[in-house]
Amino acid sequence: MKNVQSILTFVEEAERLKTVLRTAWLSDGQRESTAAHSWRLALFAGILLDEFPELDGKKVLMLALVHDLGELYDGDISAALRPDAGEKYKKEKAAIDCLAAILGGEAGEKFKILWQEYEAGETGEARLIKALDKAETIIQHNQGKNPPDFDYDFNLEYGQAYFQGGYFRRSSSGESGQEEMLISERGQELLSQLRQKIDGDTRRRMEEE
C-alpha cells in the first residue's frame, strides 16, 4: 500500500506550479501559469487519444501532466530566449529528483522514469506530447491578450520539426536497420492538419495586429 502522507505531501508541493508564470498571456491579459498550460495540454491529448490507439493512453496523459514539473523551483524560461539546454536540464532534473524523494520508493522511481521518458523523446507517447506541447503554446499565443511587441513570427517557426512525418520514425534496434513507425500515418496526417490550421490562425492574428 502506498504511503498516504507521501502522496499528500507530493500533491501539496506540486501546488507551486500554479504560481510559476510563463511568457504567455490569457485572453483576459493575465499571465499564464505553467500549471494551466499543463492542464490544457492534458485535455488536448485526452480528446485526441482515440486517434492514436497504438499508444498507451494513461501514459500520454501522465506525460502531459508531469512534463513541466521540473520548472517547480526555478520557473519557466521562454524558448524564445534559447536557454542553454544543458543548464536547463540540470535544474529541472534536480527538481524532479526532489519531488521523487517526496513520493519515495517505487512511486518515486516511476515518477522519475516517466519524466525521463518525456525528456528523451524516444517513444510515441513522448513524441506526441512534445508535438502537442508546441501546439498548445502557439494556440495560447494566438488567443492571448499579448503585449504590443509580441513576436508572432516565432509561432510560425516554433516546433515545426515535431509535426513532420520523420519525427515519428525511429531506427529499429535490430540488425535490419529498418525504421519503426511510432504512430500511424493517420495520426501523422491529423497532426499535420492541426499544425496547418494553427499556423493559419497565427497569420490571421498577425494581420489583425
pLDDT at 27: 97
pLDDT computed for residue 81 by the predictor: 61
Question: From the CB of residue 24, how many other CB atoms can be counted at a distance below 10 Å?
Answer: 23
pLDDT at 87: 87
**Nearest 5°: CA angle at 157, between 155 and 162?**
105
Q: What is the CATH number of the domain that holds 58?
A: 1.10.3210.10
pLDDT by 10s per residue, the chain, length 209: 579 999 999 999 999 999 999 999 999 999 999 999 999 999 999 999 999 999 999 999 999 999 999 999 998 877 666 777 888 899 999 999 999 999 999 999 999 999 999 999 999 999 999 999 999 999 999 999 999 999 999 999 999 999 988 899 887 665 556 788 999 999 999 999 999 999 999 999 999 88
Q: How many Å apart are CA 67 and CA 82, to the nearest integer?
A: 18
DSSP assignment, residue 19?
Answer: G
Distance (Å, whole) CA 149 – CA 147: 6
Distance CA 13, CA 66 (A): 13
Q: How many domains does the chain have?
A: 1
Q: What is the pTM of this model?
A: 0.93
Set of cell numbers at residue 112: 522519475
- If you ran DSSP here, which 8-state letter would residue 164 be given? S
Query: Residue 204: which domain range?
Result: 4-208
